[in-house]
Amino acid sequence: MDFELTHRFNESKQQWDIRINGEIDIYNSSKLKETLSGLIEQHKADICIYCSELEYIDSTGLGALVSILKKVKQYQKNIHLVDIKPNIYKIFKITGLNKVFIIEGVDHE
Amino acid sequence: MSKPIEKTYNEDDIELKLPVNPAYVSAARLTASSIANRMGFNIEDIEDIKAAVSEACTYLIKRHYHSTQADGYKIVFSLLPEKLNIHLCMQTQGSDEQLLDETELGILMIQSLMDQLHYNIGEDGQLHIIMQKNIG
């Protein structure tokens, strides 16, 4: 299973609204990194990723997100992750990345 | 009555042999969650097992440059009473230092997700990752 990514620049909020459906793993994590990297070069803005349909992310996917986070931080911007499923929140929690990204709309316990 | 033929394998073992290709890690995840579901693990544990198997496959694939090209890797799921044992192995040509990296994120994740994890290079040059999850 692959992932699908839709993106739109939200003019009123001045941020990238991104929705990811499917699974991110070693097969496609480099594609995620390239896509997000391209967007941030277009508009140096916050990235807001809606994850309600994101079914799975592995360590290479996390690595891709961390490398994009480093990039956006250079422009004093941030990455928000919204509506993460509990199984994926657990992955962020055990890796300590729940403290690195801004995670919204999840039941933390 | 004749004596039954002695089996050299566990009849409840399930083996999966995969090419060293990132495209098929999802096949390993699907197999793992299907087996864990059939064994009666709860949903949270099934997700843990799925993620751990995926990380183990990724760990092997990332070290494939030490491997002989023609070989893939093998996953054996042993369905034991009250626990699932998962054994991955791949033939390698590298040294221990290059192949066993306990600081890798995937290994740290498996340690959190599973009840037991061992990994080593066998005398046969195979890189083994063995992990276990208990039911309940």
Q: What is the bridge-based pairing of β-strands B83-91 and A102-104?
A: unpaired
Question: B49: buried, middle or exposed (CB in 10 Å: 19+, 13-18, 0-12)?
Answer: buried
Residue A55 banded pLDDT, cuts 50, 70, 90: very high
Q: Please state, in angstroms and rounded to a whole number, the distance separating the CA atoms of residues B51 and B57.
A: 10
Give the model's pLDDT for residue B1. 46
Contacts of residue A14, defined as CB under 8 A and 6 or more positions apart, other chains included, come to A45, A46
Amino acid at B124: D
- The torsion angle over the Cα atoms of residues B40, B74, B18 and B101, rounded to 10 degrees, is 100
Identify which of A23, A87, A94 has the shortest CB distance to residue B109: A94
Q: Which residues pair with A97 in a beta bridge?
A: none
Residue A102: both structure tokens together: 């801004």
Identify which of A1, A26, A86 has the shortest CB distance to residue B58: A26
For B94-119, what is the mean pLDDT? 87
CA distance A29 to chain B (A): 10
Q: Which residue of B has its CA nearest to A57?
A: B51
For B35-49, what is the mean pLDDT? 97
pTM, two decimal places:
0.91
For A11-18, what is the mean pLDDT? 97
Condensed to tens digits (0 to 9), the pLDDT of residues B44-71 reads: 999 999 999 999 999 999 987 656 556 7
The residue behind tokens 């990811």 is: A20
Of B76, B57, B95, B58, nearest to B16 by C-alpha is B76
| B58 reaches A (C-beta below 8 A) | yes
Q: Which residues pair with A19 in a beta bridge?
A: A6, A50
Identify which of B23, B47, B106 has the shortest CB distance to residue A59: B106
For A6-15, what is the mean pLDDT? 97
Which residues of B fall within a CB distance of 8 Å from A27? 22-23, 25-26
Interface of A with B (CB under 8 A): 1, 23, 25-27, 56, 58-60, 62-63, 86-87, 90-91, 94-95
Q: What is the bridge-based pairing of β-strands A79-82 and A46-50?
A: parallel
